[in-house]
Structure formats: structure tokens, C-alpha cells
Amino acid sequence: MKTNSVKVLWSAFYAFYQFAPARQTIVLFLMLAQGLSAGVGLLFILPLLQIVGIDMGGTYQGVAATATWFFETFDLKLKLPHLLVIYVVIVAIIASSRFFLAINTTILRQRYVNYLRNDMYRQLLHSSWPFIVNNKISDFIHCLAGQVQAIGLASYLMLNLLSQVILSLIMAGLAFLLSWQISLIAIGFAFVLFCLLLPLNRVILGSGQHQLLNFKAVFQILTEQLSSLKMIKSYASEAYHADKLAEVSDLLEVQQVRLTKMNAITQWVYIVGAAISFSGFFYISQVLLDVTLPTILLLLIICSRLLPQLMNIHKTYQQLLHQVPAFEDVHKMKKEFAKVQEAPVGKASIPMLEREIKLANVTFGYPGKDSPVFCDFSLEIPKNQTIALVGPSGAGKSTLADLIAGLLAPEQGGVYCDDQLLDNEYRLAWRSRVAYVTQEVYLLHDTVRANLTWVRPGIGEEILWQVLKMAAADTFVANLPQGLDTVVGDKGVRLSGGERQRLALARALLAQPQLLILDEATSAVDSDNEQKIIEAIKSLRGKLTIIIIAHRKSTLAHVDRCVNLEECCERAGEQMLRESV
């Protein structure tokens, strides 16, 4: 798809401006003031020194004469100390404007980055589950960690570009007042230089696209590898995995060098072009247009300031072009987030399970799959029953648990809590009644206490020990070096698999759920730990509704009912067949 860079940059700038219009305007004015005041301090002091009789060699006669006229007209008698004070005041005003500019630009940039990151992360968390699992987590991390930072910088660059363009227009206006013919020729030269460099823009845009893909690859490699370091080390495949990252890093290096080359070529063309245009100026003004030498000199002074300005504008534009793919990527992600936002709970009351959870004629399939996982599937789970979902791998046990938990929405039919259909805002509301324990336990690199209490902040220690006891985790936590305040390590690496599972079970119980889902929670633990978890489940039986997905007979021995999904699916299939016949 062809990218309209100017349109992308304009809409990005508009979004940035809309974020804080007042502060943007202040910053823009400060940037302009800074640009206009460059060198003003020196320009002022020299003629003023002339007024008090210090001969500066006649260079500033004109300005000095004007200043003298000004002071004489208003009968102001100035001596050297007064002049020096004026000089200091002027420089102090300029320095203050720089100070405010530096602070305001940082505030603007950082607030925008914060806003983008926080807003997008919130949207990501509120996105539907199928969207989340169908995307790469590394892409989300790359976007939230790197892209938004780059976009903050690029947005500020756009404001800077605007101020540079305004300053250049002012200088060009001055040049026009002095000699419109020469100014037109100068603009013609600048236009030719710009056109000469146009092919570079396409290369820079392409380089930005490659950089985006390569950075995404780096994030993907790092996310995948760092979460599987044990596997990498156990296969002694450190070198292979390090090489994978090195390959992409090499590409990024090439990319950066190429971008710098483009910038350097631009500078070269401008400098050599400037030398050619200066010579052309001189010749045309003197020989053909008969412009006086002082005017030519003044024009040259203006052009010598204008040219670096134009060079800067072009450089900033190239930097922005390089960021266009990043802008597009973030914009696309924001649009996707907006499409998949879950309905907020709003005024929906949280459903209270009194009788049963019911699936009525549910049909559900994953996008891109030929056949649905469930077709016209119905099931009733009475309150406080413990049921097991069994069947071969791929039969749909986890999918069914996700449907019941309100993570997935059926395409047809409905999931009910008593008579309440769990759709839209009720699906999200229902999730606060559900606790899910999966084989892979989510543990923060923090204390046992912190890992428990985020589900119920501010809860007392007594209740923590109660749930730990219910999950058969009290003994091992009590034996940890700092008890509840022991740090468990990354993903709980300092605990055994069984201990992690029991901690996850304790946390699930702390949330006081009405429905507890244990998805393969006992499959990766040894028989001793499994026995402990089974004991915990047995003690919970009849107190809340429990759905267990497990293979081991020992785990299934203590449930009220087994639902064999293979049989259910076969029955549903036969029924469909009968109906279609």
C-alpha cells in the first residue's frame, strides 16, 4: 500500500496539537522567540558601546546612529554601567525564554508519551481475549515501550519544524524587501536542491519501514528467548539463540548507517549547492542586475542564515519521514484496539449465581478454522457442583472453560448465569465472580504477600493464612525464609511447580469466586503435590462451583460429574447429521 507521508504526518501533528493546544502554542512562540533572538545580545552590545564612545571600527554605524537618535529623542543619558545592565537584562530574558522552552518541551513530550502509553495499555487490557491471543505479545511490548517514545520525539520535531519554517519565511520576507529578483533566484536554487534530494525521501521511508520490522523482530526474539532461558540452557543452544539476535542486530546496524548516509548526502548537497548558488548570486547581482555591493552583502548575510535553516528543515523532515511507519503502526494498533474493546460493566449489576451456569445451543469456532469447536452445544452446571471436563487434546476443554468464564463469546446460543444471559457488559461483570488457575502461573517478581493481595488490596494477614491453608500452601509459605515477605523470583522461579500452583490456588480463593476453573492445574506437578491440591479441592467441594480440566484419574476421582467432550461433540455431530438428513 502506498503511504501518503504528508497526510500521515499531518494527522499525527494534529493529534499532538489537540492533546494540549495552549502549551503547544506557548512552546511554538518560545521557539520562534529563540530563533529570532539568536545573536541579539551581541548585536545590541556593540552599537551601544559605540554610543558611550568606544570605537568599534564603524561596522555598526547605522544601528548605532538609530540607537543614538532614540536615546537623544527621549532625552536618555546612558553611561557604560547602564548599558551593561541593559545588556545583561536582554541576555537574561533570552536565557529565561530558553529555560522555559526546555522545560515546557520536556513536559509536553513526556506527557504526550505518558498519555499515549497509558491510554493504549488500558485499551489493550480492555480488548477482547480472541484479539489478544491472535496478536504477538512482543508487538504490544514494542509498541508500548519503544514506539510511543519515538512518536513523542517525532511529534516534538514536528513542532520544531513548524517554527523553523516560520523563521525561514520571515528571513525570506526580509530578503524579498531587499531585492525581490535575487530572492526569487535564491528560492529557485533552493527548490532545485529540494527536488534533487526527493529520491532520497523514498529510500528513507523504506528504511523506516525496515527499521520497524527489525525492531519488532528484536522484541519478539527477546520476549520468546528470555521467557525460555531454562530450555535454551538445557539444550546448550546459547550460541544458536545469540546468533538469532545478532542477525537482526546486524540488520539494524546497516539500517542506521544507511540513514546517516542519507542525512550526510543531504548536507553535502546543501553545502555544495550553497557554494554554487552564492557564486551564481554574486555574478548575477553584480554583472546582470547591477545591485549595489552593500545590498549584496546583506543578502549574503541573510542567505548564510537561511541556508543552514533550510538544511535543518530538510534534516528534520527526513527524520520525520523515517518515523512515518511508526506513526502508521501505532495508528493502526489504536484503530484495532477501538474495534475490539469489551463493553464496560457500566450500570450492569454483577450476576450472582443462585442455581446454575447454563450453555444453551452454543456454537463457537476460531476465525480461520474450517470447522467450529462447538456446534449447538448445551450444558448445565448446577451451583456448587465440581465437574471435570475430559476428552482428548484439542477436543475443546479450554475453549469451553473460556466460554464459561466469559473470555470468549459464542457466535450463536448463549451462556447464562441463572436466567441472566452473559453478553455485552454482563460478560465482563461475570468475570469478577470467576477465578482461573492455569498450568502457567502468573507470579510477579515480588513477595508472596504482594502476589496474593493484588486481587484484594488491603486484606489482613489472618485471611491470607486462611486461604493459604485452604490451598494447602500454608506450611511451605511458613517455612520460607521471610514467610509471606519472601520474594518468589521471576515467575516464581524460586518455588517448585507444585508450590506455584498452590499459591495460584490460594490467590484464586482470595478473590472469593463463585466459579473456580482449574485448567491443567495438576498436570505438571508431582504426585505428592497433586495429592495436596486434590485435598484442597476436596475441602472446597460443595462450597463453590468448580470446573477441572485434567487427565489424571487421581484428580478426577473426587469430582461430582465428568463431561466427556468427545462424546458431547460426537452427539452434537450426530444430531446435526440427523437434522440435515
> In the complex, which residues of this chain contact ligand ADP (CB under 6 A)?
133, 366, 369, 373, 391, 393-399
Min. distance of Cβ 134 from ligand ADP in angstroms? 6
Q: How far apart are CA 280 and CA 421, in angstroms?
A: 81
CA-based nearest residue to 504, from 490, 518, 493, 494? 518
Beta strands across the sheet bearing 374-382: 374-382, 356-364, 412-417, 420-421
Q: Which residue has the cell 460493566?
A: 345
- How large is the angle between the packed helices 80-125 and 21-37, nearest 10 degrees? 150
**Cell triple for 95:** 536565557
At 428 the three-state DSSP class reads helix
Cβ atoms within 10 Å of 514's Cβ, excluding its own: 20
Nearer to ligand ADP by Cβ, of 395 and 443: the residue is: 395
**Cell triple for 496:** 517448585
Nearer to ligand ADP by Cβ, of 62 and 394: the residue is: 394
Min. distance of Cβ 578 from ligand ADP in angstroms? 24
Q: Which residue has the cell 511447580?
A: 497
Min. distance of Cβ 470 from ligand ADP in angstroms? 26
CA-based nearest residue to 76, from 68, 84, 86? 68
Amino acid at 224: E
Nearer to ligand ADP by Cβ, of 349 and 378: the residue is: 378
Min. distance of Cβ 375 from ligand ADP in angstroms? 13
Min. distance of Cβ 493 from ligand ADP in angstroms? 26
Min. distance of Cβ 389 from ligand ADP in angstroms? 8
Nearer to ligand ADP by Cβ, of 8 and 395: the residue is: 395
**Cell triple for 90:** 536582554
Q: How far apart are CA 300 and CA 296, in angstroms?
A: 6
Min. distance of Cβ 503 from ligand ADP in angstroms? 23
Q: How far apart are CA 535 and CA 524, in angstroms?
A: 17
What's the Cα-to-Cα distance from 239 to each of 224, 228, 236, 243, rounded to whole Å?
16, 15, 8, 6
Min. distance of Cβ 380 from ligand ADP in angstroms? 20
User: What separation, in Å, do the N-terminal and C-terminal C-alpha atoms of the chain show?
Assistant: 48
Min. distance of Cβ 404 from ligand ADP in angstroms? 12
Min. distance of Cβ 426 from ligand ADP in angstroms? 23
Min. distance of Cβ 388 from ligand ADP in angstroms? 12
Residues near 559 by beta carbon (within 8 Å), at least 6 away in sequence? 386, 387, 388, 546, 548
Min. distance of Cβ 199 from ligand ADP in angstroms? 44
Nearer to ligand ADP by Cβ, of 248 and 515: the residue is: 515
Nearer to ligand ADP by Cβ, of 422 and 568: the residue is: 568
Q: How far apart are CA 373 and CA 389, in angstroms?
A: 15
User: 574 near 544, Cβ under 8 Å?
Assistant: no
Min. distance of Cβ 377 from ligand ADP in angstroms? 12
Q: Concatenated DSSP letters for 526-566?
A: -HHHHHHHHHHHHHHBTTBEEEEE---HHHHTT-SEEEEHH
> What's the count of helices (H) and strands (E) in the chain, helices before strands?
22, 9
Q: Which residue has the cell 449489576?
A: 349
- How large is the angle between the packed helices 293-339 and 80-125, nearest 10 degrees? 20
User: 101 near 34, Cβ under 8 Å?
Assistant: yes
Nearer to ligand ADP by Cβ, of 351 and 396: the residue is: 396
Residues near 407 by beta carbon (within 8 Å), at least 6 away in sequence? 129, 431
Nearer to ligand ADP by Cβ, of 10 and 366: the residue is: 366
Nearer to ligand ADP by Cβ, of 40 and 133: the residue is: 133
Q: Concatenated DSSP letters for 239-283?
A: HHHHHHHHHHHHHHHHHHHHHHHHHHHHHHHHHHHHHHHHHHHHH
Q: How far apart are CA 156 and CA 151, in angstroms?
A: 8
Angle in degrees, CA 155, 159, 162, rounded to 5: 135
Nearer to ligand ADP by Cβ, of 372 and 492: the residue is: 372
Q: What is the DSSP letter of 52?
A: T
Nearer to ligand ADP by Cβ, of 209 and 438: the residue is: 438
Element (H, E) at 441: none
Strand pairing category for 386-390 and 412-417: unpaired
Nearer to ligand ADP by Cβ, of 28 and 132: the residue is: 132
Q: How far apart are CA 337 and CA 356, in angstroms?
A: 34
Min. distance of Cβ 407 from ligand ADP in angstroms? 11
Nearer to ligand ADP by Cβ, of 150 and 390: the residue is: 390
Min. distance of Cβ 520 from ligand ADP in angstroms? 8
What is the C-alpha R_g of the chain? Answer: 35
Nearer to ligand ADP by Cβ, of 302 and 518: the residue is: 518
Nearer to ligand ADP by Cβ, of 89 and 133: the residue is: 133
